[in-house]
Amino acid sequence: MSISPGELRLSVLDQSPVSAGSTSADSLQRSISLARHVDALGYHRFWMSEHHAMETLACTAPEVMLARIGAETRRIRIGSGGIMLPHYTAFKVAECFRMLHALYPGRVDLGIGRAPGGGPVEALALKRDRTTQQHDDFPDQVSELLAFLGHDFPVGHPFARIQVSPNMPGSPDVWMLGSSMWSASSAAEFGLPYAFAHFFSPVNTRAAIEAYKRGFMMSALRDEPEAMVAVGVICADTQEEAEYLSTSVRLLQRRIRQGDRRPIASPEESIRELKLFGETSLQASQAAEEGEWPRYFVGTPERVKEELGQMATALKITEVVVNTIVWDHAARLRSYDLLAEAFTLTSVSPDRRILSTAAF
């Protein structure tokens, strides 16, 4: 199976990264700017992540941002990448995403995950009952969520009489998110489409996708498996510029490993700090990673297109979700421009593109 550029869908995962020298509020405005931009460029989905109490990433409530972004865009699918289900009741999540579905029918994805989206203290603060240890009942939560969304509780179940409003035809499309073999198995058992967070944990990417496809059980939501991977991408007009921009995310990854969650540093600051640790080149950084492919694909659009195509062919997938973190917002928009051109995405309504980012 060989994937040509025209056959590969490109989507976007936005984490609302906070750049040094700006505020979290600025980052949320940049997320809106990015959503408008990639909608016009022809990207397929725009997903927002959920993180808590982090200086680095601003979006704590993707459902709130999606309500705004749906109104700011025309055609792109909008969704969560993802909702961290253990923090919530399945009923409340179903209500929130049925609201979004009512506002933007046929455009809403509900990506769910089991990770906390923060540290242990933040997870404790999010708990309603702190007198007992939190029970891991994620599979039960997923079953309940799907039953609420599909009006599918068995006769006699106490929740069978609950009507999740707004009640209208159709439903958000539910995706299982993860970065482990456990999530692959869970997605297969529930018959859900699966998105693997390769940019977060690149070690088990091929094994997880293949295990998911082998174990997939047909459901009311899918007749056959559907998988995609989320990868980091930085494109620029030259390889040198792309590698220069990538220093910010390379330093971010190093800082996070050390428990340092400061905002995204500029390339100049990142280069100075990386030199202190002997990480002077992209090649040295990638050589230290485990996994078949790097977390971040960095380079000219032609090079990134070739590498993403090879990965998609190897995994037998037809969609890739792109996560781009750089210090400068204009450079981030430019990276998505170059990638769209390389993959010949169909641009729509060019007048809606963001013509100036000076305000941000």
DSSP annotation string for 122-170: HHHHH-S--SSPPP--HHHHHHHHHHHHHT-PPTT-TTTT--PSS--SS
Residue 127: alpha-carbon gap to chain centroid = 24
Query: Which run of H or of E encompasses 231?
Result: strand 227-235
Query: What's the mean per-residue pLDDT of the chain?
Result: 91
* Three-state DSSP class for residue 40: helix
Mean pLDDT of 119-132: 75
For the ranges 29-38, 147-156, 317-326, the lowest mean pLDDT is seen at 147-156
Crossing angle of the two packed helices 62-72 and 24-41, in degrees rounded to 10: 40
Pairwise CA distance, residues 92 & 158, whole Å:
16
Q: Residue written as tokens 């969609």?
A: 319
Mean pLDDT of 185-193: 98
The residues spanned by each domain of the chain are 10-352
Given CATH 3.20.20.30, say whether it is the number of domain 10-352. yes
| Percentage of residues in the chain having pLDDT higher than 90 | 81
pLDDT digits (tens, 9 = 90+) for 137-178: 899 999 999 999 999 999 999 999 999 999 999 999 999 999
Q: Is pTM beyond 0.85 here?
A: yes
Q: Which residues contact 99 (CB under 8 A, 6 or more apart)?
A: 67, 166
Mean pLDDT of 118-142: 78
For residue 25, give both structure tokens: 């509020």
Q: What is the DSSP-derived secondary structure letter of residue 57?
A: B
Q: 130 pLDDT exceeds 80?
A: no
